[in-house]
Amino acid sequence: MPSALPAEEATDRLDVRLAAGDDEVAAAQALRYRVFYEEMGAHPTAITRSLRRDVDDFDAVCDHLLVIDRTRGTGAEGVVGTYRLMRRSVGERFGRFYTAGEYDISAILSTGCRFMELGRSCVDAGYRNGATMKKLWDGIAAYVFEHDVELMFGCASLPGTDPDQVAGHLSYLYHHHLAPEALRPRALPGLYIDMNRRAREALDPRRALAELPPLIKGYLRLGGFVGDGAVIDHQFNTTDICVLVKTDLITAKYRSHYGRTVRDAGSEG
C-alpha cells in the first residue's frame, strides 16, 4: 500500500467521476473487498470469496462514483475510492432499496421528494486523507446538483457488533441528531437496537462528535440526522445507523463554487 499523500500532491493526482464500464465497477468492488473483508473483518459469501470482490444485486443498477489516481492509471487500475449512488427513480424501478433491508423508510418514501440512497463508501488505505474525501464529496455534490436531489440517505457504520462498545456514539446521535419524526426511519422489528444507552447529561457533546468516524461526522456537518435504532450487521462486522442529509447546503456550496468558476473562466477569456 502506498503511504498517505500530502494534500496538495493528492489533489493534483486525483480525479472523480462515475464508473464508465464493467471493468471500473469491478475495480470498485475489489476495493470494497479489500477494505470491508480483509481490513474490517466482514464475512464473505462463497461467491464473494471466490471473486475477491464485494458484490450484490444493487451493483448492476447503481451509479458508482470513483476517485482515480491518474499516476496509477486513468481507468480501473487507478481506482482508490468509491461510493455507490442510487436515485429514487432507479430504486423504484428496481423494486427495493438497500436501506429497507434494515430500516422502515416509509416516511421518506411518502414525502415524494427527489432522493438518492448512498452507501458502500470506502477508500484505499494509502489515500485516507482530506484530499480524497474532498474529491468524493465534490463528486456527490455534482451528482446532487445534476439530478436535483433533495435528500440523501443510507446506512453508515460503526465498528464492531457490540452496541455497548459504541454506546457513547449511539447515545450522542440519539440525543443530538435524531431526524424529525416526519422523515425518521426506524430499525425494523427484530433488528432494532436502542440507541439511547446513556443519559444526555452524561455525555460531552464536543468530545462525542470529535470521536465519531469521519464519514458520519461529515454527514452531521452538512446538517445530517439519524434514524431511530441501530442494527447489527453480522456479515460486515458493524453496527449500522441510518443517516439522512437534506441537500440544501451541498447544493448551495456547489452552486456558489460553480458560479465562481464560470465567472473566473470568463474573466480570463
> Looking up cell 459504541, which residue turns up?
166
State pLDDT tens for residues 51-96.
999 999 999 999 999 999 999 999 999 999 999 999 999 999 999 9
CA distance 122 to 114: 25
pLDDT digits (tens, 9 = 90+) for 176-206: 999 999 999 999 999 999 999 999 999 999 9
Query: Does residue 153 contact residue 244 with C-beta atoms inside 8 Å?
Result: yes
C-alpha cell at 43: 464475512
Q: Work out the angle at residue 10's Cα, subtended by the Cα atoms of residues 5 and 12, and round it to the nearest 5 degrees.
A: 150
Whole-angstrom Cα distance, residue 62 to residue 85? 6
Segment 149-173 mean pLDDT: 97
CA distance 93 to 10: 38
Give ∠ CA 172-39-25 in degrees, rounded to 5. Answer: 100
- Contacts of residue 175, defined as CB under 8 A and 6 or more positions apart, other chains included, come to 196, 200, 203
Q: Kind of pairing, strands 115-123 and 186-187?
A: unpaired
Closest residue by Cα to residue 215 from 158, 131, 259, 152: 158
**Cα–Cα distances in Å, from 218 out to 175, 200, 202, 210, 267?**
18, 22, 24, 11, 34
Q: Which amino acid is at 18?
A: L
- Residues 6 or more apart whose Cβ sits within 8 Å of residue 68: 14, 15, 16, 17, 74, 75, 78, 79, 80
Give the model's confidence band at 252: pLDDT under 50 very low, under 70 low, under 90 confident, else very high.
confident
Single-letter amino acid, residue 39: E
Q: How far apart are CA 185 and CA 104, in angstroms?
A: 5
Cell of 127: 489515500
Closest to 140 (Cα-Cα) out of 33, 215, 34: 215
Q: What is the pLDDT of residues 103-131, one digit of tens each?
A: 999 999 999 999 999 999 999 999 999 89
Question: Which residue type, as a one-letter code, is found at position 187?
Answer: A
How far is the C-alpha of 231 from the C-alpha of 161, rounded, in Å? Answer: 9
Cell of 150: 433533495
Measured CA to CA in angstroms, residue 27 lies from 7, 13, 151, 215 at distances of 24, 18, 28, 22
What share of the chain in percent tops pLDDT 90?
85
| Helix (H) or strand (E) run with residue 85 in it | strand 79-87
Q: What is the mean pLDDT of the chain?
A: 90
pLDDT at 262 (0 to 100) = 35
Angle at 228 between CA 205 and CA 207, to 5 degrees: 15
Domains of the chain: 1-86+115-150 (3.40.630.30)
- Alpha-carbon distance 37 to 97, whole Å? 23
**Could you count the other beta carbons within 10 Å of the beta carbon of residue 160?**
15
**Is residue 7's pLDDT more than 60?**
no
